Amino acid sequence: MDDSLENRLRAFSARQGVSLTTRQIGQLVRLDQMIAGWDRALGVSGFRDADERFQRYLAEPLDASRWFPGREGAVLDIGTGGGSPALPLAIVRPGNRWTLLEPNRRRAVFLEEALAGLGLSGSRVIRSRWEDFALQEPFVVITSRGLALNERLLQKMAHWLEPEGRLLLFTGLKRSEELFDREGSLRRAARVALAPGLKAWLVVLEKPSETSAASFT
């Protein structure tokens, strides 16, 4: 195990109040090794170096994990790309069943290998665009990062959520303001800058229990 990365993960999680087991730290270190190897060969994630990979790929999802609801269930990540935030979140929230939606073949292959290599059973990769995705069950959480969050996609996400389900949207400062101020059927739960020194903002929107699914179609 990479002691320096292990120490960084322990220090960061303690500072941010995120509980990690020894097994989860080992999985995160293994994930970092996997993405580094794939990046050298195929440029899966696009992060420039180990420090940026730690901050953007691992630390941001760890910090955001505090905004998961208490109950477990099915979780969807749209446009998973190189695996963040989905894979770190799947490690620290192991009771959920993850669906990783990714249209790119190369990245989908990496995601499938990562799920198997990390022992994340009960999760799956679907190679598809969100426009073509067929809902089989509602989700307790939907996450997204790096997608153009247009009105059609936001309405689709809301339709796919179960009552009291949450959207966790990773974005930049300006877009976080626009999303949080957006009028719609989802209620505002939080808009936060992720841990000090990180670049991402997190917008958390929640589907009210009294809202009917028909209002999102």
**pLDDT tens, 61-88?**
999 999 999 899 999 999 999 999 999 9
Q: Which residues contact 24 (CB under 8 A, 6 or more apart)?
A: 91, 92, 94
Average pLDDT (45-61) is: 85
- Homologous superfamily in CATH for domain 3-216: Vaccinia Virus protein VP39 (3.40.50.150)
Burial 17-34 (b: 16+ CB within 10 A, else e): ebebeeebbbbbbbbbeb
- Lowest mean pLDDT of 70-79, 96-105, 188-197, name the range: 188-197
Question: Which pTM was predicted?
Answer: 0.91
